[in-house]
Structure 1
């Protein structure tokens, strides 16, 4: 089991904040930040990370206008954030580093933040995986981009940060089916007419039962008719397993955003548009 550690930072004499790190990514400066550092943006948060490589200035920062899709961009395709200028953000939900010392970031508030590092090349990725992005396999898309840049599956390490726990995340049967369908080899799964009321779609109900009967299923029962509980982080782990990842290459943070209001914003809990940031700085290996 991988170890997660809290890092405490002092910003002012009377102000402290915390962020979470994972030993699986110990070779990279990284952090899953908490609500204690709200409303600071990555342009400021990056200076709190312990950079092993001496730099004259902080690494260039890249972030996105997240749109709950599966588009993943190379950081080198974008203009880094300039704190002194207004920057137009590209619409996407994942970033892959292209050279050393790039700080790439995603924000979440119940969705799943995922950071990836390559032990051989030093390159990194940051992914925002909500249920919509997970249903269109944004994490495999990011891995494929890293592979296109020379990564091998065996060299990748993946830390899945704090997100809403499956036991707390009630969704419709349609949503559960759309996400769960990514775990099956069939090119097309006939789930019936998705515009029908769910109670009138027996094929949808049958597929949801199929999901519930899976070993170690990411879908859990819910007492409300037509509803289920969905473990989005677990779906992402299963997608990685289908790509050939071993369990020791993946770590899942033992914290639920919904159940820890002192540490994390949760849109499902509070309906507030506030987020916490997660970021990683690419390494100095032979990128």
Structure 2
């Protein structure tokens, strides 16, 4: 594999015979990738081979919750018709080295976490519902229970739909924003409009706003005592980069891209 862009950027594309996937310099000590449309249809057990062919892959049936599994708790079985059934949740934390954990997205934010001392990693799927239920702060709490120190945690927030193109109803925005702001509905909205991270933008349509879910997650993480230098945010919008990423909001088709990381 070779880098296809300057190392001056914290985000680089890696080339393979299949295509390119995105990596983050912050997670350079772990094999990881945010995969693009080039790898459409390839499941985690195949994609894991691009990272480390000796790693065992774990995934879930994602249901937009704050449910996080450890790898030993993830179940895979077949029903009476032979269909594969996965445990239902939206985050997986590793327990052993050479376990790769994966999440799928098509506008929601994929979050890859790592502990630079313990070597453990976590993959999280956080759309607006998962963000409203604080799945990433919950993952930070789980790492704390496992003995992590906050200064050792690293976060790469992968390609997702950007706020300037993500129109939502105000009640949806309030569910998400109430995780980072307090007050009346109007006070919460005002704080959102005035926030440094631009978590919401005004919309021309009455009763709507533009919501930046990734920046809400960024704020949630920092409010847990994590320094901003421990967080990297991908500069790519899934909606606005059709040559690279699938977007459900753009096409309304159920196509996805996978993001994964391997524990040390």
Whether TM-score is above 0.5 comes out as yes
Indicate if the aligned counterparts of 2:197 and 2:215 stay in contact, CA closer than 8 A: no
Partner Cα distance (1:81, 1:231) in 2: 36
Is structure 2 residue 14 aligned with structure 1 residue 7? yes
Q: C-alpha displacement at 1:208, in angstroms?
A: 2.1
Taking a change above 3 Å as real, the CA distance of residues 206 and 79 of structure 1, as seen in their structure-2 partners, is: closer
Match of 1:164 in 2: 161
Structure 1: gaps spanning 5 or more residues: 11-15, 52-56, 191-203
Match of 1:63 in 2: 59
Partner Cα distance (2:74, 2:127) in 1: 23
Which of 1 and 2 has greater Rg? 1
Q: C-alpha displacement at 1:219, in angstroms?
A: 0.8
Q: C-alpha displacement at 1:76, in angstroms?
A: 1.5
Partner Cα distance (1:216, 1:132) in 2: 19
Q: C-alpha displacement at 1:205, in angstroms?
A: 4.4
Q: For 2:168, what is the secondary structure of its paired residue?
A: strand
Match of 1:23 in 2: 25
Runs of 4+ in structure 1 off by over 6 angstroms are: none
Is structure 2 residue 13 aligned with structure 1 residue 32? no
Partner Cα distance (1:81, 1:60) in 2: 16
Taking a change above 3 Å as real, the CA distance of residues 153 and 114 of structure 1, as seen in their structure-2 partners, is: same
Q: For 2:16, what is the secondary structure of its paired residue?
A: strand
Indicate if the aligned counterparts of 1:62 and 1:81 stay in contact, CA closer than 8 A: no
Is structure 2 residue 146 aligned with structure 1 residue 149? yes
Q: C-alpha displacement at 1:209, in angstroms?
A: 3.0
Q: TM-score, normalised by structure 2?
A: 0.91
In angstroms, what is the RMSD of aligned CA positions?
Answer: 1.8
Q: For 1:183, what is the secondary structure of its paired residue?
A: coil
